[in-house]
Every structure is written in structure tokens, then in C-alpha cells.
């Protein structure tokens, strides 16, 4: 009944004398479904867009009203589709490159929500609505059961086939090296040039400072960072960033 009423309203808003194109425009506007959860003063879809474009920064938790929306996004097809757009563009870019062939061309991968997915953990903790709890999160990490992100796995395999070496640069602590190695190997990431974890000397430093410093070390050692992919803007900021950066979606948490 409601759809019939909307159609009726759409047909009478614009008279035929105003033109068929304008009448169709009004019909589409009235009849199309609303996308994203709507709450007073908050559209969760628009909130996610603001997060992904870094217009919303410094946030600590997902708005409580958006828990369901973020959960459906992360577990549904749209997250996978968005990830495919990013990694497919990365593959097109990588295939267009003329490599030196000296083994110094590398691609930097973040780990959490880039290479490995922590969705099993976040599904049990409100998809980012609950404040970050390092104790609980590390209990999950040490199980080494995080699955691979399929789109990133495809990119990883393509890069190796092209002769591009992979460097993993993660915010996980150096104490978790064995766990990270086991988890990566278990899900199919068997080959890399370097696995860089956060040393205790970076305590008090931001992710941007830490990752920028480590990328500078790579370049000082003669490596050329031809690509860099991560789920956080802090993975892709600072200097050097690499010749080209690729941002994967992640509306569950923010790291500065």
C-alpha cells in the first residue's frame, strides 16, 4: 500500500507540462529505498564515508547506533566488493610497472584488516562499538586463527608472480613474531622479504611515526617501495609512503 501511495504522489508532484524527464526524476527520488540506517542526526552510511575519506578522525568507537549497520557491512557482500575494487586497482597498477629485476622492488602490506582479518573477534565485541581492550584482543591474536582476506591474498599472489617482493609492516609487537609468522603461514602467506613488527623502542610513538621510520630504513637499504596497502590512513601517511598507496575499507577502528 505504501509503495502504491508513493507512486501516486510521484505522478502528481510534476505535471506533464513540466517535462517527462523531470517527472521521472521525482519518481526515482520518491521511490528509491533509503540506504544506511537512519537515526536522528546520524546516517551510518554517511558516517562510514566520512571515516573512509578521513574527514572524520580521532574517533575511539563506532557510534552505538551504527553497530548493526557496521556489522552487516563487514559480514555482507559490500565489504568484499569494496575490497575488490581496491585490490583490483592495485593489481592493474602492479602489472603496468617495468621492474628493475634486481630484487629490490617491494610492496608493503599491513597485517590486521589488510592481510589477516580479525572479524571473528570484532563480531563478538560489537564491531568496534566496544572500547578497545588490548588484553582481550591479544588473547585472540595469540590463537593465530585470523583468516586471510581473500582479496589481499589475490594481490599478494599476483605480486609474487610478477617478481615483486612483499614486506609485512605491522603494529603488532615484536613479542608476537612467532604468532604472526604461524598465522600468516597457516592461511597461505608463505613468502616474504621482511616481517617488521613494532619494537619496544617505538613506545609512545604514533603509528605514522613508527611506520614512516621503518619505510625509511627499507629505502636506506636499497629497497624501492613501489606499492603500499593498509586499512588505516596511518599505514599510508608520513614519508616515504611508497610510489602508490591503496586504502582498504575498515570502519571498525581508528589508529593515528
Which residues sit opposite 22 in a β-bridge?
none
Residue-level pLDDT at 4:
39
- pLDDT, residue 42, reads 82
pLDDT one-digit tens code per residue, 204-219: 999 999 999 999 999 9
Please give the pLDDT value at position 250.
98
Nearest to 189 by CA among 181, 197, 201: 181
From first to last of its 256 residues, the chain has per-residue pLDDT tens of 444 343 333 433 333 344 444 444 444 444 444 456 655 678 999 999 999 999 999 999 999 999 999 999 999 999 999 999 999 999 999 999 999 999 999 999 999 999 999 999 999 999 999 999 999 999 999 999 999 999 999 999 999 999 999 999 999 999 999 999 999 999 999 999 999 999 999 999 999 999 999 999 999 999 999 999 999 999 999 999 999 999 999 999 999 9
pLDDT 10s digits, 98-133: 999 999 999 999 999 999 999 999 999 999 999 999
Nearest 5 degrees, angle CA 115-CA 131-CA 176? 40
Amino acid at each position: 500500500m505504501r509503495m502504491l501511495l508513493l507512486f501516486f504522489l510521484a505522478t502528481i508532484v510534476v505535471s506533464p507540462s513540466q517535462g517527462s524527464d523531470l517527472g521521472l526524476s521525482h519518481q526515482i527520488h520518491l521511490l528509491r529505498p533509503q540506504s544506511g540506517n537512519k537515526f536522528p542526526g546520524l546516517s551510518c552510511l554517511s558516517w562510514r564515508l566520512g571515516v573512509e575519506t578521513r574527514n572524520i578522525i580521532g574517533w575511539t568507537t563506532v557510534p552505538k547506533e551504527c553497530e548493526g549497520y557496521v556489522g552487516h557491512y563487514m559480514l555482507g557482500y559490500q565489504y568484499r566488493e569494496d575490497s575488490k575494487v581496491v585490490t583490483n586497482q592495485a593489481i592493474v597498477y602492479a602489472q603496468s610497472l617495468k621492474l628493475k629485476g634486481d630484487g629490490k622492488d617491494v610492496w608493503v602490506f599491513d597485517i590486521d584488516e589488510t592481510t589477516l582479518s580479525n572479524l571473528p573477534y570484532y563480531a563478538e565485541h560489537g564491531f568496534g562499538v566496544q572500547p578497545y581492550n588490548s588484553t582481550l584482543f591479544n588473547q585472540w591474536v595469540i590463537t593465530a586463527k585470523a583468516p586471510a582476506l581473500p582479496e589481499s591474498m589475490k594481490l599478494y599472489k599476483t605480486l609474487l608472480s610478477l617478481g615483486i617482493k612483499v614486506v609485512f609492516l605491522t603494529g603488532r609487537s615484536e613479542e608476537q613474531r612467532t604468532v604472526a609468522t604461524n598465522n600468516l603461514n597457516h592461511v597461505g602467506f608463505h613468502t616474504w622479504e621482511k616481517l617488521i613488527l613494532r619494537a619496544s623502542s617505538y613506545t609512545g610513538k604514533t603509528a605514522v611515526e613508527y611506520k614512516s621510520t621503518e619505510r625509511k630504513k627499507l629505502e636506506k637499504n636499497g629497497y624501492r617501495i613501489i606499492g603500499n596497502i593498509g586499512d588505516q590512513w596511518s599505514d599510508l601517511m608520513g614519508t616515504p609512503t611508497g610510489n602508490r598507496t591503496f586504502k582498504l575499507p575498515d570502519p571498525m577502528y581508528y589508529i593515528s
